[in-house]
Structure 1
Amino acid sequence: MRILLSGGGTGGHVYPAIAIANRIKEQHPDAEIMFVGTEKGIESEIVPKYGYELKTVTVQGFKRKIDFDNVKRVFKLFKGLEESRKVVKKFKPDVVIGTGGYVSGPVLFNAAMSKVPTVVHEQNSFPGVTNKILSKVVTRVLTSFEDSHVRFPEGSREKLVLTGNPVRKEILVARKNIARKNLGISEDKKMVLCYGGSGGSEEINEAMKVVIENMVKEDIAFIFATGKYYYEDFSKTLDHLNLKPYQQVVPYLEDMANALAASDLVIGSAGAISLAEITALGKPSIIIPKAYTAENHQEYNAKSIESRGAGIAILEKNLTPERLNEAVFKLLGDRELLIDMANASKEIGKPEAIDLIYDEIMKIYEANNKSKVSKKENKSKKAEAKAVEEKSDENKSDEMKSENQPKVIGIKKK
């Protein structure tokens, strides 16, 4: 089995591809797996760490304005298309999988045009431009939010399958009581987890100052990840507070599994993978989507969670310390509401997402294999039939030659 994966630009595109590759490798240790990405993308750091080969191609996303830089990007796109064509032709994949980002466009387009089975995985509620275009030519589109289906072109909707976003195994197996024991947080304490994505969020950090002061007063356990860039300055603003061991401010969450499992409430941005992890464990949440993301997809993600009663969405432009503080303490003070939100979150969550994704890929792989075998058998049968026909023609020809031979009549001697 030969699998080609492509996705890059952000961790939200790369990590799902890694999860898919790992699952295929678990089930098929002999599978040959290759990634296609860009040299400058985050995938060039992440993919090799997981032991997979990465081929790089030249491609860059377009700006949302007309300028000379965009003209140069058009030339890069054509170059990327040609480089991708060569990769697909040389590797000869059985299935090509794209998880988003501009790099997946040329790769999946070339594969689809070469009649190679292709799969797109869309992580967000609002599909990216690349995936919407690809949905018209690929074999299957795997989605993570049910409400994303109406945002795909009508002609491609029959290809859509709701699978969810893959979640790391260590998060899926984490348990609240064990996580609290590991973190030194007692069972009876209320616990809040807050993080603003891998890089942190200045807006969330600013709003959290008041929330942290009040959580310290109320003796509530919390873990707050500021982001490495903001950590030093933010920490200085808390010097006047006497934080307990179970009240932590950290630059980055090294142990997401324990932190998430131990929490009663999660505050964070609306990245698709973060939301998949939150809902997989059935956690109530306050979601603060980052502004200015591509297609404003984080806002759509957040509203999708809120519309199902699994969380509260607060847009960045509406975020104030007072509003966030009010939302946090309203939820912490209403046990029944928290339970209802937790149940709604669990209903949305798809802890089995990686199984569903793997199953769809294998269906396509096996169907293609059957088709290949069938074509081979038909070709073989046609060759046999042709050989029989040629042999029959030969025999007929020999018979005709024999009939046309002049007969020699013997003369009896007297």
Structure 2
Amino acid sequence: MPRACRRPGLCAALTTGVLSVAALSVTAAPGHGAAPAVGFEMPFPCAQSWTGTTRSGHSPSARAIDWNRADDDGMPVVASAPGVVATAVPGGTRGYGRYVVVEHADGAQTYYAHLSAVSVVKGQSVDQGALLGRVGTTGNSSGPHLHYEQRAGGSVAEPWFHGARFVMGSTQASQNCVDVPVAGNFLGDTTAELVVYRRAERATFEIQRPGTAPKVLRFGTATDQPVVGDWDGDGRLNPGVRSPATATFSLRMPSGLQQVVLGAAADVPVAGDWDGDGRWEVGVRRAVDGVFRLRAPDGALTDVPLGDLGDLPVTGDWDGDGDTDLGVYDVASATFTLRRVDDDGVAWLAQVAFGSGDDLPVTGDWDANGRTDLGVWDPTSATFTLRQAPEPTAARADTSSVSFGRSR
């Protein structure tokens, strides 16, 4: 069930285990006034209202927006669209001050300037709605605001949000209200359910239940990072989130809330049963070097290098031995790299091409065979594509597609 790749870079067609590389195809950047190919949303969390203004002498262009709202100093700034961080300057004092540049499909870029704090690093893959930093007044700024640009072909373009050209001087509510794919055994049966984390001021985990309405667990906020795990060892997964601002995991279970501080703002959370004792622990994949840092029940930390900086982390029990293994997903080539450790302590790596360049990875035991399977979620159609095989690296596999969540 291949889909055409819509992101620049090396792209792989959907396969059942053999890497298949497609040719690169880049669309020309849109001109000034044209609707951009990228579906940009406002650079603020879901439902927040902001006023955007400019002036004739606005540098570098009157098409750049200065965003404000009451008491905006220190408020979160999020990615307008998925992409890769091309520039991250956490200590700038001149010009843009502290700022971030994200590169999107077709070479488009967005600029986020005068920040008080930067929460990402260069080379990091970021999803739409992910925290980039906080509003500030660093650099050449006379007061707190977010300086924002959409660029095409190297020049500042007219800004568009949610499919419409932005009118300078207007106040709008952000529709940057995206779903993030998750999966796991929440309902206590033998297979993993499909789940989306819905970014909102009061975020929710939406758990698919075929034939009836999704089960909704309200937990987290729009800028939190979702993470799920069996925190209490009862055989069911529970929701969790990590706040990038404080590097704090909040793990919810029937007995109460557990909090763990781990990592830096830019790190990506992971979870798994690292020692096979039935209780899941947390970890992070460090954004600065792509190293997994896993936390044991006693607080001890283990570092495992795997993949390249821009890869997205995944976890699962690839070999069915009860211990959670590590993996990464290369967005550009749509390739999973899976790591497992044998009985002699030797680490083995295997690659599986699956998905397309726009997809986000998801893993779960789709067929109840005790081994974690691979999957992807297409944000443009809100479709999960699931790969089922005796083991995740098998060359022959069945695939199925399920629509769940909100498309972007």
Query: Is the strand fraction higher in 1 or 2?
Result: 2
Q: TM-score range by the shorter chain?
A: under 0.3
Q: TM-score, with normalisation over the residues of structure 2?
A: 0.25
The structure having more radius of gyration, on CA atoms, is 1
